[in-house]
Structure 1
């Protein structure tokens, strides 16, 4: 039989090996204790060098047993309990340590996985640029063909990865890189969202959206300032424009006509700013405006007659009031057999007629030359045999040329202009004419305005986010040095607001009949007199 020391060592090894169960002392230890093997050793005061046999000892408890007994003289009777207690405490500590460590381990694993995916995205992106090169941003490359090639390269690169990735991660990586390469990075999902009307990037880590007329922040962000600058460069370069330190502001457009404005440092102090005003893929119609409450049925019929009757119309309003949308709707009333020339800073109008010529201004090149302004295009359009001239926005000396066009037989022209109301519209028009540098007396300018402009359609964006036409005003004639105006339809504010703060009013007729009805009859267009009665809506 083995010595007590060997049996205790075996018990210790068994306890350390199992750890999941509470170990017990070797059963052979109990007979040894009963035989009194360690007891006399303790009582005799034996040491490790004592060669004497244990009195009354077992046959195998010879010198080695004496030595073992000397080493374990005190704890031998309670050895099993001591090792049981020690193993139990160790097991308890192990279990306690495992419980809090588990979520930490998961978080560490999730962080490592996120870093791996980001690293993989960077590798895939680099490989994609390496294989496709300049084709990615060439303006003449077919978009469908480019998308097919990008997705093919993505699939090839991902399939060659040594470490497998889940289907969900594969789809996410493919979508994010596709958005970055084929679209506009983290804002691409918002540009696809039909409910979003405006995307505002105030630095690479701050993005706001406009939905239902209200601003909301989102968690998406660009990787860094360089990522945002690459996206801005991609947008502006596709229409032949540039933005850099020498020209830190730019107006541009997306392929669908959405309006883009970008400002970069040093003008933008906290990082590059990008503002995109989205236009619906399917332009809003007059029925949409009626459903939204922007105009009434009677007003829509009246404006339809005014456009067909070749009246010169100015659509005015503040920024974001919906002037371009209203201009699109008004242009839809133009007969299909007329030649239309549109002039814009960035082509946004979406006319459905067949015979449309679209012109777009051009800024200076890098040498500061080659600019073509709205005024240049308005002058040139007069030589293009237009039936209608539509200017996206009059904001400078082009107002003089627009007035000249309206006064030289190009009736039915339409333009937009920023202002606070119908009266302010005329004042702004005067100011912009003076910007042309012509030394004209104010009265002469006002006579030109009164003669050229027939109707002002003023639009306002309300606090609830809705956009409403608030004035349909006739420009009558000069009385002394003042241009007289006459409201045909005005917005009724007396209806107030509902419990959600939404405006309840609408356009109502004033009861006055415009004097230009006779001019409309020359184009064989008549208007039902009941439209102007006060009870009409």
Structure 2
């Protein structure tokens, strides 16, 4: 069905004046599209009843008013990412594997019209002076756009689709992304207000895990989320969402994550959740974790737990504060309790590969201990990663502290001699 819709879109693009498409009322567009769809159905000899034909006409009209050729892909639940390299080349990711599609835009101007529609819907702009933009679709899907002059071959669009069904820890276990024992430990850590950094590379599932972990926070708490482009799917009753704002044409009135974090501290939050820490706001995030907002969470781009600590140190240095390396590390060691490390593997699978506890400082070195991990054992005949989840035998130091809150973690999940389920 998707292939038929793609072909129908091409048929319509060749016959409709795209310049007036957005100016037509829906009823008039239906009148324009109806004879063209009927002609196409007759040519292809599709056996459609009158009602099915009307449904196809109305669906097609909705797609023309939406994001055009991209609409069938956005409705396809098997697609997780849509990647437009240029107007006549579109890839998708299904089950971690990239594949090229038959979808094309009429020309570069058509693609640019869709791009403008996407970014303007969230109050942003894209042009030669602002060629790089982050935005989101109405369903929460994350969008990144690059246009000329930085995009040499014309507009490029990357869409990370928003899951219609919120991810839970149970779904991650079903998908072999983590073990049940890992869930037990992390749920106790979240409920026990341990501050957590979720670390991983691009596409490793950091936002997915952040959403899943945040679902364990009590409805009695006030949560404030801060993101460049809002995509978190928190299910709690008391959630306040904030999003950065790009500068205006004169380069003024930009609102960065650091300003949002400072403002969030004045809004009586119980926890602050930052979609991704990527700059000087790391200092303010750690300050929040250290000053009564325990249990806050954020994500960082890093390939190992130790790398994530180094990244935090570098980002705090970007704030330009008169702090020594030692004082920066003390801030990190006192603020962060756990690092959850994710990895996207070469077969496209995403796994939680390490849960690491920060235990303090020794001399000038932040001390860490791995609690649970994923161990690779090889690949199968289909080149899929094989391995198992296991405990290292080390008990987290915070277990005694959360036990005072009535939170208990069974001792057997820390047994290193058995594979975690």
- Give the alignment's TM-score, normalised by structure 1: 0.71
Aligned residue pairs total: 402
1:472–1:116: structure 2 CA closer, same or farther, 3 Å change rule? closer
1:394–1:128: structure 2 CA closer, same or farther, 3 Å change rule? closer
Q: Counterpart of 1:245 in 2: which secondary structure? A: coil
Structure 2 counterparts to residues 162-173 of structure 1, below 5 A: 165=39, 167=41
1:155–1:508: structure 2 CA closer, same or farther, 3 Å change rule? same
Q: What CA distance in whole angstroms lies between the structure 1 residues aligned with 2:11 and 2:195?
A: 62
Q: Counterpart of 1:207 in 2: which secondary structure? A: strand
Q: Does 1:121 align with 2:16?
A: yes
Q: Counterpart of 1:456 in 2: which secondary structure? A: strand
Q: Does 1:262 align with 2:145?
A: yes
Query: What's the counterpart of residue 180 of structure 2?
Result: 297
1:257–1:115: structure 2 CA closer, same or farther, 3 Å change rule? closer
For the Cα contact (< 8 Å) 1:313–1:454, is it kept in 2?
Answer: yes
For the Cα contact (< 8 Å) 1:309–1:524, is it kept in 2?
Answer: no
The structure 2 residue matched to 1:512, chosen from 391, 394, 409, is 394
Structure 2 counterparts to residues 82-481 of structure 1, below 5 A: 120-122=15-17, 129-132=22-25, 150=26, 152-157=27-32, 165=39, 167=41, 175-181=59-65, 183-481=66-364
Q: Unmatched 5+ residue regions in structure 1?
A: 1-113, 133-149
1:265–1:473: structure 2 CA closer, same or farther, 3 Å change rule? same
Task: Tell me the CA shift for residue 247 of structure 1.
Answer: 0.6
Q: Unmatched 5+ residue regions in structure 2?
A: 1-8, 44-52
Query: What's the counterpart of residue 3 of structure 2?
Result: none
1:168–1:340: structure 2 CA closer, same or farther, 3 Å change rule? farther
Summarize deviations over 1:434-459 as a string: whole Å, max 9, x none.
Answer: 00011210000000100000000000
Task: Tell me the CA shift for residue 506 of structure 1.
Answer: 2.6
Larger Rg: 1 or 2?
Answer: 1
Q: What CA distance in whole angstroms lies between the structure 1 residues aligned with 2:306 and 2:13?
A: 57
Q: Counterpart of 1:363 in 2: which secondary structure? A: coil
For the Cα contact (< 8 Å) 2:357–2:370, is it kept in 1?
Answer: yes
Q: Counterpart of 1:504 in 2: which secondary structure? A: strand
Summarize deviations over 1:298-346 as a string: whole Å, max 9, x none.
Answer: 1111100000000000000000000000000000111111111111111
For the Cα contact (< 8 Å) 1:475–1:485, is it kept in 2?
Answer: yes
Q: What CA distance in whole angstroms lies between the structure 2 residues aligned with 1:392 and 1:376?
A: 15
Query: What's the counterpart of residue 44 of structure 1?
Result: none
- Give the alignment's TM-score, normalised by structure 2: 0.90
For the Cα contact (< 8 Å) 1:127–1:157, is it kept in 2?
Answer: no
For the Cα contact (< 8 Å) 1:295–1:506, is it kept in 2?
Answer: no
Task: Tell me the CA shift for residue 192 of structure 1.
Answer: 0.7
Q: What CA distance in whole angstroms lies between the structure 2 residues aligned with 1:458 and 1:256?
A: 28
Task: Tell me the CA shift for residue 523 of structure 1.
Answer: 3.2
1:173–1:268: structure 2 CA closer, same or farther, 3 Å change rule? farther
Q: What CA distance in whole angstroms lies between the structure 1 residues aligned with 2:272 and 2:144?
A: 25
Query: What's the counterpart of residue 502 of structure 1?
Result: 384
1:402–1:120: structure 2 CA closer, same or farther, 3 Å change rule? same
Q: What CA distance in whole angstroms lies between the structure 2 residues aligned with 1:314 and 1:166?
A: 53
For the Cα contact (< 8 Å) 1:298–1:536, is it kept in 2?
Answer: no
Task: Tell me the CA shift for residue 516 of structure 1.
Answer: 1.5
Runs of 4+ that moved beyond 6 A: 161-164, 169-173
CA RMSD of aligned residues (A): 2.3
Structure 2 counterparts to residues 71-86 of structure 1, below 5 A: none
